[in-house]
Structure 1
Amino acid sequence: MIHTSKELLGQLFDLLGHVPVNRYNEPLDVLSNATLGQHLRHTLEFYQCLLEQYETGIINYDLRKHDPTLESDVHTARKKILQLKGLLSSELSDRPLILQFSYKDSAPDYDEVHTTFYRELIYVVEHTVHHMALIKVGLRVLMPSYDAPVSFGVAASTLRYRKEGKLREAH
């Protein structure tokens, strides 16, 4: 999962090299007026939570920083991606963790469940792929001539299924 995470972050890094700075934070109707930058920030902050909270043994994705510069500045986002890739090392072993969460819309009173680092990393990978799919939708509006890699925003199981000829690529 560490290798997969680095690959996904690498795809996002490469993408940002093609997105015009003035379009990165443009609200898109097709994304309910969210921006590419907002989806990217949200994605990166899940990795940031998991990696920075790893040592504490308690993971809480609600404690994301919501850093506005990640969603408004392509260069800051690219730097954050490089930082996260650097934090993803083979020294991160699987270990028990506690996941804190709350689904209340008032002041959070966190519930907890037992999990592991690898399980959370799988979750963050799946979450990343989901947001990459949304980013790809936004790219088709912002940059219709940009040809994202076939695997961008597509689950590995879907790619395998397509390889077997059972599912055509969606456009």
Structure 2
Amino acid sequence: MKQLIISSINHNLNNAIALLDAIDSKTYQDTSVGPYYSSIGSHIRHTLDFFDCVISGLDSNNIDLTARKRDEVLSTSKESAIQHIYKLQETLLSYIDVNTDYLIHVTDNMGQGKVTVNYTLESILSHANSHTIHHYAVIGYILNTLGIEIKIPGFGYNPTSPINKREGI
């Protein structure tokens, strides 16, 4: 199961690389789309932050999703984001043969303060993948509003969406 999860994540990360290869830096950094005025780069950075929190917390068995690095270079430099994705994919592949028969403590802020809950490695990686897809949907909205059409099949759609509605951006 872990191999399928990591393969799915790497597929979605490859879609991010395809997107970054298809847009220019100005589009990557554009913050003109309301109501949040966030850039595609900020959404890519945010999704990478989530994965970085997972990786950073595994050794101590304490993943803190509120301790994001928020590296603005990833928000503004497509090339840095792509290189970060490649390193992330390599790290994820190294987890395929790791023993994960234990619970991992994951801390997040649910809006009323921090709470720590138990996950497995598979469940936090699945959560990170779903979180990434959610942000890809926002990126699709930004591109649509900017009048930019790029076709990446399934980008921004949950795999359970009906196929006739799952076109991608």
TM-score normalized by structure 2? 0.86
Q: Distance in 1 between matches of 2:99 and 2:150?
A: 36
Q: Structure 1 residue 134 and structure 2 residue 138: aligned? A: yes
Aligned residue pairs, count: 162
Distance change (3 Å), C-alpha of 1:23 and 1:116:
same
Aligned position for 2:105: 98
Unaligned runs of 5+ in 1: none
Deviation at 1:68, TM superposition (A): 0.6
Select the residue among 119, 124, 139 that pairs with 2:123. Answer: 119
Q: 1:64 is matched with which residue?
A: 68
2:50 is equivalent to residue 46 of structure 1: yes
Any unmatched runs of 5+ in structure 2? none
TM-score scaled to structure 1, two decimals?
0.85
Could you list the runs of 4 or more consecutive aligned residues of structure 1 that deviate by over 6 angstroms after TM superposition? none
- Alignment correspondent of 2:158: 155
CA displacement at 1:57 relative to structure 2: 1.0
SS of the counterpart of 1:79? helix
CA RMSD of aligned residues (A): 2.1
Cα distance in structure 2, aligned partners of 1:37 and 1:119: 26
- Percent of aligned pairs sharing the same letter: 23
Report deviation, 1:31.
Answer: 5.1
CA contact (8 A) 2:154 2:167 kept: no
Distance 2:61 2:20 in 1: 32
In structure 2, the CA distance between the partners of 1:21 and 1:169, relative to structure 1 (3 Å rule), is closer
Letter in structure 2 aligned against 1:141: T
Match of 1:5 among 5, 9, 18: 9
1:21 corresponds to 2:25:
yes
Deviation sequence 1:65-94 (CA, Å, 0-9, x none):
000100011111111111101111213443
| TM superposition shift of 1:156 | 0.8
CA contact (8 A) 2:31 2:38 kept: yes
SS at match of 2:31: coil
